[in-house]
């Protein structure tokens, strides 16, 4: 069995490498190639990798998202934040709120039940940082849009959790028979966010001491990896957000440690196979057969979430007096949606069981489209903004 897993991992990496060569020839992002080749090789297409095999790889997405969050948290260096100002915070909330409000408004006008719409609309706030980060790295994008984008997608996770908690509380109040505690529903996401941030900050302090004590490059890579894995495991056990905790850990670490740049460089060299496997597996898990099931409501969700993100980002950029390029192009880089959205859809199945299955189907269909289209649109937006060299 162990040899089968190793064989399938090697096949996945080889296929991922080949797809990256193809993507380079047709000038598309590597991440799109990983997703497409994963989709083709997965159980819902050519079945080169069965459902059982994909399930055995389940630890890889958790680990990859931890490393991705850790890399994004490095953008919260105080000297850098002073330079960019309040813009990322303002834009993160306006784009998240814009997506939620527009989806809610359109679906309510279309005649769907308000309590159902509120929960589905809240999930529209979530943006997947992984695909965006991979595009930025591949093309070495630099400029005001990229500088604003990375902290925005980091803050977006917290904004999505807050908006989801508020929307679920309102939905429960509408359908409640008097036994539901609205206060606890509102407090749950706040506790989750604060707990993740505090725990991540503590690990960030510990990591700063550890990388000062261990001076070898190999030892620093080992201790950083150990901290990220510890952060993920404890957060999963406590019900905290591993993404927020890993971001908080690296944000504290980058401001405390004088060797943080060296450590982040080590991690950047270590993670490419993990990220490749993550997107390959994500592609393999995409089930195109569910697309016809979404109907009109799914189409409205998919389209108006994007419109809300673009318009919300533009409003936030205007309020924060960001550069014209940020106002014009940032919203287009916020299309990808995956892990957090799917997680919230799973939560919806328990908190609003009468709508849960329908919400999950719509979100999964949206994920298929957003993950395939999002990286390409991100690349085009950054190129239009002049932040990707020809």
Average pLDDT over residues 206-211: 93
For the chain, report the end-to-end CA distance as a whole number of angstroms: 46
Q: Which residues contact 37 (CB under 8 A, 6 or more apart)?
A: 15, 16, 18, 19, 280, 283
Is residue 390 domain-resident? no
Give the domain range for residue 60. 2-384
Model confidence over 24-37: pLDDT tens digits? 787 777 777 887 88
Model confidence over 293-341: pLDDT tens digits? 667 888 888 889 889 998 888 888 888 887 888 888 888 888 887 666 7
Average pLDDT over residues 190-206: 87
Is residue 205 domain-resident? yes
Alpha-carbon 360 to chain mean position: 17
Is residue 181 domain-resident? yes
Cα separations (Å) of 254 from 199, 376, 378?
A: 16, 30, 27
Q: What percent of the chain has pLDDT over 70?
A: 88
Please answer whether residues 246 and 339 qualify as being in contact, where contact means their C-beta atoms are separated by less than 8 angstroms.
Answer: no
Is residue 220 domain-resident? yes
90 token code pair: 């303002």
Model confidence over 101-137: pLDDT tens digits? 898 898 888 888 887 888 888 888 877 777 777 788 7
229 token code pair: 């894995």
Is residue 192 domain-resident? yes
Categorize the per-residue pLDDT at 60 as very low, low, confident or very high, splitting at 50, 70 and 90: confident
Is residue 13 domain-resident? yes
What region, left, alpha or beta, does residue 159 occupy, with left being phi > 0 and alpha being psi -120 to 50 degrees? alpha
Is residue 324 domain-resident? yes
Please answer whether residues 370 and 131 qualify as being in contact, where contact means their C-beta atoms are separated by less than 8 angstroms.
Answer: no
Please answer whether residues 162 and 191 qualify as being in contact, where contact means their C-beta atoms are separated by less than 8 angstroms.
Answer: no
Total domain count for the chain?
Answer: 1
Q: What percent of the chain has pLDDT over 90?
A: 9
Please answer whether residues 192 and 240 qualify as being in contact, where contact means their C-beta atoms are separated by less than 8 angstroms.
Answer: yes
Q: Which residue has the higher pLDDT, 53 or 239?
A: 53
Burial grade of 328 (CB within 10 A; 0-12, 13-18, 19 or more):
middle
How many angstroms separate the CA atoms of 83 and 146, rounded? 14
Is residue 164 domain-resident? yes
Instruction: Say which CATH number the domain at 265 has.
Output: 1.20.1530.20
pLDDT at residue 2 tops 60: no
């Amino acid at each position: 069995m162990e040899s089968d897993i190793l064989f399938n991992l090697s096949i996945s990496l080889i296929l991922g490498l080949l797809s990256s060569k193809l993507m380079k020839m047709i000038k598309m992002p590597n991440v799109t190639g990983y997703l497409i080749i994963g989709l083709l090789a997965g159980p819902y297409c050519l079945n080169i990798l069965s459902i059982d095999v994909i399930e055995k790889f389940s630890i890889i997405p958790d680990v990859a998202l931890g490393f991705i969050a850790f890399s994004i948290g490095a953008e919260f260096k105080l000297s850098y934040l002073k330079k960019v100002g309040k813009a990322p915070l303002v834009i993160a909330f306006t784009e998240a709120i814009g997506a939620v409000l527009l989806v809610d408004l359109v679906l309510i006008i279309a005649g769907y039940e308000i309590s159902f719409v509120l929960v589905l609309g809240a999930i529209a706030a979530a943006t997947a940082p992984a695909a965006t980060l991979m595009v930025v790295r591949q093309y070495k994008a630099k400029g005001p849009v990229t500088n604003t984008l990375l902290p925005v997608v980091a803050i977006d996770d917290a904004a999505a959790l807050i908006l989801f908690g508020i929307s679920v509380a309102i939905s429960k109040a509408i359908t409640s028979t008097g036994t539901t505690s609205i206060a606890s529903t509102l407090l749950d996401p706040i506790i989750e966010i604060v707990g993740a941030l505090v725990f991540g900050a503590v690990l960030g302090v510990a990591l700063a001491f550890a990388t000062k004590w261990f001076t070898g490059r190999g030892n620093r890579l080992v201790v950083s990896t150990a901290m990220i894995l510890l952060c993920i495991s404890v957060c999963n056990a406590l019900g905290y957000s591993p993404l927020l905790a890993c971001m908080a850990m690296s944000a504290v670490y980058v401001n405390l440690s004088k060797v943080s740049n060296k450590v982040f460089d080590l991690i950047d060299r270590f993670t490419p196979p993990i990220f490749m496997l993550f997107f390959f597996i994500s592609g393999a898990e995409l089930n195109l057969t569910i697309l016809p099931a979404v109907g009109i409501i799914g189409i409205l969700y998919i389209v108006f979430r994007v419109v809300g993100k673009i318009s919300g980002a533009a409003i936030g950029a205007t309020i924060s007096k960001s550069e014209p390029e940020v106002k014009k192009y940032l919203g287009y880089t916020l299309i990808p949606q995956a892990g957090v959205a799917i997680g919230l859809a799973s939560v919806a199945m328990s908190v609003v069981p009468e709508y849960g299955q329908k919400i999950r189907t719509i979100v999964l269909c949206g994920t298929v489209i957003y993950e395939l289209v999002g990286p390409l649109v991100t690349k085009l937006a950054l190129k239009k903004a002049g932040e990707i060299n020809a």
